Amino acid sequence: MRTETPIPIRLADYRPSDHLIDRVALDISLDAHATRVTATLSLRPNPAGRAGADLVLDGEDLTLLSFERDGVALAPDAYTVTDTALILRYPPAEPFTLTIRTQVDPSANTRLMGLYRSNGVYCTQCEADGFRRITYFLDRPDVMAVYTTRIEADREEAPVLLGNGNPIEAGDAGPGRHFAVWHDPHPKPAYLFALVGGRLDRLGGRFTTRDGREVDLGIFVEPGKAERAAYALDAVIRSMAWDETAFGRIYDLDVFNVVAVSDFNMGAMENKGLNIFNDRYVLASPETATDADYAAIEAIIAHEYFHNWSGNRVTCRDWFQLCLKEGLTVFRDQEFSSDMRSRAVHRIGEVRTLRARQFPEDTGPLAHPVRPQQYAEINNFYTATVYEKGAEIVRMLRTLLGPDVFARGMDRYFSECDGTAATVEDFLAAFAAVSGLDLTAFARWYERPGTPVVTVEGEHQAAAGTYTLRFRQDLPSALAQGLGRQPGQEADATPPLVIPVALGLVGPEGVLREAVSDRVHDGVFVLERASDTITFTGVPVAPVASLFRGFSAPVRVAAVATDADRLVLLAHDTDPFNRWQAAQDVAMARLVADARGVDRPMDNAGFVAALATFLDREALSDPAFAALVLTVPSEGDIANTLGQSIDPDAIHRARTDLRRSLGRGLFERLTRLREALADPAGSRFSPDAASAGRRALRNVALDLIAGADPQAGLALAAAQFDAATTMTDRLAALSALALIPGPTRESALSAFAERFAHEPLVLDKWFAIQATIPEADTLDRVRRLQAHPAFAMTNPNRVRSLVGSFSAGNPTQFNRADGAGYDFLAETVIALDPTNPQIAAKLLTGFGSWRMLEPGRQAKAAQSLAAIGARPGLSRDVSDIVGRMQN
Ligand code: 0A1
Ligand code: ZN
């Protein structure tokens, strides 16, 4: 029998809190097993709430030691303690003070929510609802208070004591103990509370804000690793400067600290003035971190810093508004990275991530609106839809309004909503006010799940010199069927979305600049109806339409195009995104045909010739872009394009065939390119985008060479593996070797493990590479690796790199026809659920696309899901996902 489905919380039921908390004074005495917390809360009834209502404070896994009101111990019959709350009956109608003493055991906290210990360091994680695991509180984001925190600890065990805001006092606290007091003047919700206590090294820096504030910067890491924090510190400084110029946002405290911990459920957390990070997004050195790691550190440091305004100064009224801070902050960090690196290359990366993670989510059983209407467990909504599609909505808004009006709208939002807990409506109201536009129809993007499909048909009228484009928008078919509609009916039955279509026409010689339409402004046509037609004049030759330039809307495009059309775009379009897309489309046409088992394989000669011309012209001037053009779509991309009756083995064969064919066709060129792109002897490592681009192209070339001729690939990869001076090159070589069975691979894997035996973050890469080998004995290998001394089920990074890589990154072996991959994931989810339900639920989303599979595999996946669902005592996190997955 399945565990009961948890009761959902609904947006429609939102009510303001009956009470408010203005000030919080915390006194926290750290102890490994018995940490004591005294919370003094200044409360008052909320005029917007219900007068005379009971005060219900949230609490979880707390031991209540004492409870006073206005300095007087409360009689036991004045309050009730339950598993989830402390309830004060008949609270005063005037402001009052509660003093609550609780005790918690940080060492027993394996969920990593609330106060816990990571490698002996005390740290906290309170978003979304972890503060209630520290003390009883109104743990909801619309209750905002000013916090003063006194932290006391053993001086030896925790010489560093950090809190939110600015440090105001420190000193001795009896034999062997010391204390620090932190005060945060900015009112904040409890989810932004943080403290850290531990033995940590500090890399310090300074930043002077535009308004003259001298900010002390500190990156705190495990002892001995401070030099690995240099890139993160540099990224903090660049983020602070960028937010001043790009968004006019200035930092507002005297201190900004970042702490790296090794046990963390997510990437990082934007606690006010005290960001806490998963150490993989802080620590970097050329020997241990890849170029992708450096880029991720830069992006996540920026993301958390940018939250200081989009999230902290303006926070969310309730958790349904999560996209208000997350979508906007992802948009802001994407803009930052685009300014720091190549905008075109970055945009392609953003879209690849969106399509790889968000599109499948939006197509499967876990689909939800960017602003959900209900949830059973909010921790399950930190999703690609809320983050990545949320960012696309903000981007569309900028495309629709233009950069200047958009900037004015952002300013208005920040000034109107500063210090408040806001909603998506507040956000849109700021843009409506500055633009004079009615954004009601645009707001549907927040409410409608599913990736829309836009069908486009073009027709050239040679005699008139005109070109017509007919557009239609539809709900994705699965959703439409869910609503009981027939294909084709959707368009009329559903209010349309507002879809910005950035577009242009391209002829055989280049972009047709004379082609104009009165429906296209600044290169953008706005599709606001279910269907619409636009006409260009000044089109003497049959053109190719370049549609959704820069991926101007998160939709799937259905348009008929020939290889020849696509190759015109690759050669002549001015939009780099669509040039890349054109090459991907040509590749995908072949992959899909092959995976579907067409009788006659498509000819690749024209494609190879076009790629050769492209490489000759551009590979050396923009290697990062060339690397993307040459990258064969992933097995996941192919599955998403096929959409149903997926056979992962057929997809793998198709991709292997195309890799081989392109590698053979371009073999000499790729070999020459690798030589031309080699670092000059003695050159120093730089993580900048240009150097990373050269490494990327060299390593894509290696992959194609190995695909064409495994023996040649083996020799090149083995040599690169031995000679590598960067983790990027060493890992690329190891990845190439991992695809070629035999003793060279095994000895390279051993050498790597030995060299990095004391570098857990590097061993994560080693776990991941092995978990993604597309061979029949990989599952056995993964099971063996679970017993490796460096593996630990208690550490989220280890679990993700071994088990998560297997389920999310190894389509043929996770989806083994015998169902053994599914059984393994189910076992792991069940084993992890009691200690860390959040990570267990995340792993379980590996089943997210199970309904797309061919019937045999679907049946096996359904069995495994049923086995999980039948376990008694599942967490809310896991039962929520398993329940939605089975619907
Ligand atoms: N707000 C963070 C994400 C985050 C959410 C929940 C967490 O709990 C474990 C941790 C972090 C961000 O967007 O970076
Ligand atoms: Zn965020």
What's the pLDDT tens digit per position in 326-354? 999 999 999 999 999 999 999 999 999 99
Instruction: State both tokens at 603.
Output: 């000819």
CA atoms of 681 and 419, how far apart (whole Å):
55
The whole-number pLDDT of residue 477 equals 63
More confident residue, 237 or 479: 237
pLDDT digits (tens, 9 = 90+) for 580-628: 999 999 999 999 999 999 878 889 999 999 999 999 999 999 999 999 9
Q: Whose CA is nearest to atom 8 of ligand 1?
A: 127
What residues are in contact with ligand 1 under a 6 Å CB criterion? Answer: 125, 127, 265-270, 303-304, 326, 382
Residue whose tokens read 């995340």: 842
Q: Whose CA is nearest to atom 5 of ligand 1?
A: 127
Under the banding of pLDDT at 50, 70 and 90, the label for residue 1 is very low
Q: Indicate if the pLDDT at residue 846 is higher than 80.
A: yes
The whole-number pLDDT of residue 154 equals 98
The number of the ligand 1 atom at minimal distance from the alpha carbon of 268 is 14
- Catalytic hit among 304, 350, 361, 388: 304
Average pLDDT of the segment spanning 140-150:
99
Q: Which residues surround ligand 2, an ion (CB under 5 A)?
A: 326, 329
The whole-number pLDDT of residue 479 equals 57
Site to substitute for ligand 1 among 118, 259, 266, most atoms within 8 A of C-beta: 266
Q: Indicate if the pLDDT at residue 688 is higher than 60.
A: yes
* Ligand at shortest distance from the CA of 329: 2
Instruction: Compute the distance from residue 329 Cα to the ligand 2 centre, in Å.
Output: 6
CA atoms of 823 and 813, how far apart (whole Å):
12
HEC assignment per residue over 576-623: HHHHHHHHHHHHHHHHHHHHCCCCCCCCCHHHHHHHHHHHHHHCCCCH
Instruction: Compute the distance from residue 326 Cα to the ligand 2 centre, in Å.
Output: 5
**Nearest CA-CA partner of 796 in 758, 817, 767, 756:** 767
CA atoms of 605 and 662, how far apart (whole Å):
9
The whole-number pLDDT of residue 490 equals 46
pLDDT digits (tens, 9 = 90+) for 251-285: 999 999 999 999 999 999 999 999 999 999 999 99
The number of the ligand 1 atom at minimal distance from the alpha carbon of 128 is 6
Using an 8 Å Cβ cutoff, are 586 and 609 in contact?
no
Q: Indicate if the pLDDT at residue 5 is higher than 90.
A: no
**Conformation bin of residue 120: beta by default, left when phi > 0, alpha when psi is -120 to 50:** left
Instruction: Compute the distance from residue 285 Cα to the ligand 2 centre, in Å.
Output: 25
The whole-number pLDDT of residue 493 equals 65
Instruction: Compute the distance from residue 127 Cα to the ligand 2 centre, in Å.
Output: 10
* Ligand at shortest distance from the CA of 269: 1
**Nearest CA-CA partner of 76 in 68, 639, 84:** 68
* Ligand at shortest distance from the CA of 266: 1
List b or e across 652-680, with b for residues whose CB sees 16 or more CB atoms inside 10 angstroms: bebbbbbbbbbbebbbebbeebbeebebe
CA atoms of 370 and 451, how far apart (whole Å):
11
The number of the ligand 1 atom at minimal distance from the alpha carbon of 387 is 13
The number of the ligand 1 atom at minimal distance from the alpha carbon of 130 is 8
Q: Whose CA is nearest to atom 6 of ligand 1?
A: 127
Site to substitute for ligand 1 among 118, 127, 321, most atoms within 8 A of C-beta: 127
Instruction: Compute the distance from residue 387 Cα to the ligand 2 centre, in Å.
Output: 8
Q: Indicate if the pLDDT at residue 491 is higher than 50.
A: no
Q: Whose CA is nearest to atom 11 of ligand 1?
A: 269
Instruction: State both tokens at 264.
Output: 């963390």
CA atoms of 95 and 216, how far apart (whole Å):
37
pLDDT digits (tens, 9 = 90+) for 43-100: 999 999 999 999 999 999 999 999 999 999 999 999 999 999 999 999 999 999 999 9
216 pairs with which residues across the strands? 206, 255
> Cα separations (Å) of 533 from 192, 556, 692?
49, 18, 43
What single-letter amino acid sits at 193? F
Q: Whose CA is nearest to atom 12 of ligand 1?
A: 269
* Ligand at shortest distance from the CA of 391: 2
- The share of the chain scoring above pLDDT 70, in percent, equals 98
The whole-number pLDDT of residue 248 equals 98
The whole-number pLDDT of residue 680 equals 83
- Give the residue ranges of DSSP H helices in 778-819: 778-785, 796-799, 805-809, 811-814
* Ligand at shortest distance from the CA of 278: 1
Q: Average pLDDT, whole number, for the chain?
A: 97
Give the end-to-end CA distance of the chain in Å, rounded to a whole number.
Answer: 15
HEC assignment per residue over 818-879: CCHHHHHHHHHHHHHCCCCHHHHHHHHHHHCCHHHECHHHHHHHHHHHHHHHCCCCCCHHHH
Q: For 529, phi and psi rounded to 5 degrees?
A: -110, 170
Site to substitute for ligand 1 among 126, 297, 382, 795, most atoms within 8 A of C-beta: 382
The whole-number pLDDT of residue 599 equals 76
pLDDT digits (tens, 9 = 90+) for 759-775: 999 999 999 999 999 99
Instruction: Compute the distance from residue 687 Cα to the ligand 1 centre, in Å.
Output: 26
pLDDT digits (tens, 9 = 90+) for 828-838: 999 999 999 99
Q: Report the C-alpha dihedral over residues 647, 650, 654, 657, rounded to 10 degrees.
A: 160
The number of the ligand 1 atom at minimal distance from the alpha carbon of 303 is 14
The whole-number pLDDT of residue 679 equals 86
The number of the ligand 1 atom at minimal distance from the alpha carbon of 838 is 9
Residue 528 is among the residues annotated as catalytic for this protein: no
Instruction: Compute the distance from residue 264 Cα to the ligand 1 centre, in Å.
Output: 10
Give Cβ neighbours of residue 13 (< 8 Å, ≥ 6 apart). none
Using an 8 Å Cβ cutoff, are 116 and 263 in contact?
yes
